[in-house]
Amino acid sequence: MTRTELAAILARPELSDADIVALLGLTDPEDCRMLKEAAFNRTTELMGPYVYYRGLIELSNICTANCRYCGIRKANHAVERYTMTQEEIVEQAVWAARQGYGSVCLQAGERHDEKFIEFICACLREIHVKTKSPLLPNGVGVTLSLGDQPESVYRRWAEACGNPESLRYLARFETSNPELFQMLHSTPGRNEKNLEHRLECLRSLRRAGYQVGTGVMIGIPGQTLEDLCRDIRMFQEIDVDMIGMGPYLRSEGNDLEALGQMEPKALLQLALNMIAVTRLVLGPVNIAAATALQAIRDDGREMGIEYGCNVVMPNLSPQRFRKGYQLYDNKPCLDDEPTQCASCLEKRIQSRGREVGWNMSGSSRRYLRRIGRPNEVKPAKDYTPDGRRLIRLRAI
């Protein structure tokens, strides 16, 4: 493809499947730069200059599922299992709210037992009560990432959350290719999950009132550019509010090691291309810069922002739990505490011409449009990550 042809594709209001595949496959540095610029500008135009924080609390690594790509799948007996206490979880959420994070994300392995479901309800109720402040009158926004569940469970959690306007759920469908999905989720003699069921979960989340987030892994062994193009079409079909996607990375404890992983440089570029093209096709949705980008290259998440991401998920888990939550190898920040990640990430975001949307709940504009709400306005005052100004405000 010539530069003129590329410029013509980037200027089109709608991309065809052939355009999408061509853009995903770009490797020449100047071509990639053009794609990046188009995606960054589109993001600014549609979403404004802010990057929203979702403080990520990896509350438990116990999982009943066996996704073959995942380092904490049930069959990996080398992992020491943990579950944070309610007190520890609430403490992290309150800390995040005080720092000015508009929302937190509770993530864990998949469990279906009543004890766990009720445990999450109790955490959500307490987080709601304890994070209300003049700046967050409905408490901190909450994103859940707790796997495939029946609609009744989604509804119980939604109710416990108490903040229906900032209620979100993240469940990646991983790949829109049913055979690839099957390969990723079947162990000998068992077929643990199927794509149709995951898509049904996403539909039931929408019915239960959630902003729906999904995503895929990029560079799965056997995946093609055409598969990734269909993933983007699937995002459109579901009419998603947010997307989180990152490179597939090998993991010592996973069950796909023998299949290898794409060469890191090419993998990173493919992931960035996928982010950019998703932005161009999907428009005003939230797109998170996955931590997995940073596992390949130190400034991988910042590159994600340059290619169209507008959300990052700083890790709020206390350092002592981090080694237990390695979905893939080389996960960054294993030796860092939440305070370090928070200030480090703000500098990283600013280095690429964006601002942290302190105290913003950060609903996607696509969602706000759907429910007929105006765009969120940033609170007049900024609150620094150490929370001092917020405390001062409370004292007044």
Which H, E and C letters describe 346-396, residue by residue?
Answer: HHHHHCCCCEECCCCCCCCHHHHHHCCCCCCCCCCCCCCCCCHHHHHHHHC
Residue 63 touches which of ligand SF4, ligand FES, ligand 5AD, none (CB < 5 to 8 A by kind)?
Answer: ligand SF4
Does residue 328 bind ligand 5AD (CB under 6 A)? yes
Does residue 275 bind ligand 5AD (CB under 6 A)? no
123 to 162: interface string for ligand SF4, x by CB under 6 A: ------------------------x---------------
Count of residues that interact with ligand 5AD, criterion CB under 6 A: 13
In this structure, what token pair is assigned to residue 97? 């709210």
Candidate residues 92, 254, 310, 361; the one interacting with ligand 5AD per rule CB under 6 A: 254
For the chain, what is the largest distance between any 2 Cα atoms, rounded to a whole number of angstroms? Answer: 64
Candidate residues 40, 52, 69, 321; the one interacting with ligand 5AD per rule CB under 6 A: 69
Residues 6+ apart with CB under 8 A from 33: none
Structural contact between residues 311 and 275, judged by C-beta atoms closer than 8 angstroms: no
Segment near ligand FES (CB under 6 A), from 50-58, 170-178, 277-285, 340-348?
340-348
Structural contact between residues 211 and 367, judged by C-beta atoms closer than 8 angstroms: yes
The CA distance from 285 to 213, in Å, is 9
Residue 346 touches which of ligand FES, ligand SF4, ligand 5AD, none (CB < 5 to 8 A by kind)?
Answer: none
Candidate residues 58, 174, 231, 346; the one interacting with ligand 5AD per rule CB under 6 A: 174
Residue 48 touches which of ligand FES, ligand 5AD, ligand SF4, none (CB < 5 to 8 A by kind)?
Answer: none
Count of residues that interact with ligand SF4, criterion CB under 6 A: 9
The three-class DSSP label of residue 228 is helix
Alpha helical stretches, state H, 263-358: 264-282, 291-296, 300-306, 319-322, 338-350
Shortest Å distance, C-beta 172 to ligand 5AD: 4
The CA distance from 308 to 289, in Å, is 9
Candidate residues 6, 70, 120, 140; the one interacting with ligand 5AD per rule CB under 6 A: 70
In this structure, what token pair is assigned to residue 219? 């560079």
Does residue 345 bind ligand FES (CB under 6 A)? yes
Of residues 304-333, those binding ligand FES (CB under 6 A):
333
Residue closer to ligand FES (CB basis): 48 or 100: 100
Q: What are phi and psi of 29, to 5 degrees?
A: -55, -40
Residue closer to ligand 5AD (CB basis): 246 or 314: 246
Segment holding 190, helix H or strand E: strand 190-191
Segment near ligand 5AD (CB under 6 A), from 127-135, 184-192, 244-252, 301-309?
244-252
Candidate residues 170, 341, 349, 356; the one interacting with ligand FES per rule CB under 6 A: 341
Residues in a beta bridge with 57: 106
Residue closer to ligand FES (CB basis): 6 or 333: 333
Rg value, the chain, Cα: 20
Structural contact between residues 307 and 40, judged by C-beta atoms closer than 8 angstroms: yes
CA distances (Å), origin 290, targets 185, 190, 257, 263, 275: 22, 30, 21, 18, 10
Residue 280 touches which of ligand SF4, ligand FES, ligand 5AD, none (CB < 5 to 8 A by kind)?
Answer: none
Alpha helical stretches, state H, 26-103: 29-47, 86-99
Does residue 364 bind ligand 5AD (CB under 6 A)? no
Structural contact between residues 98 and 105, judged by C-beta atoms closer than 8 angstroms: no
Shortest Å distance, C-beta 251 to ligand FES: 20
Segment near ligand FES (CB under 6 A), from 9-17, 266-274, 339-347, 369-377?
339-347
Does residue 290 bind ligand FES (CB under 6 A)? no
Q: Compute the residue count for the chain.
A: 396
Q: Give me the residues that bind ligand 5AD (CB under 6 A), please.
A: 69-70, 172, 174, 217, 246, 248-249, 251, 254, 292, 327-328
Q: Give me the residues that bind ligand SF4 (CB under 6 A), please.
A: 63, 65, 67, 70, 72-73, 109-110, 147
Q: Give me the residues that bind ligand FES (CB under 6 A), please.
A: 333, 336, 340-341, 344-345
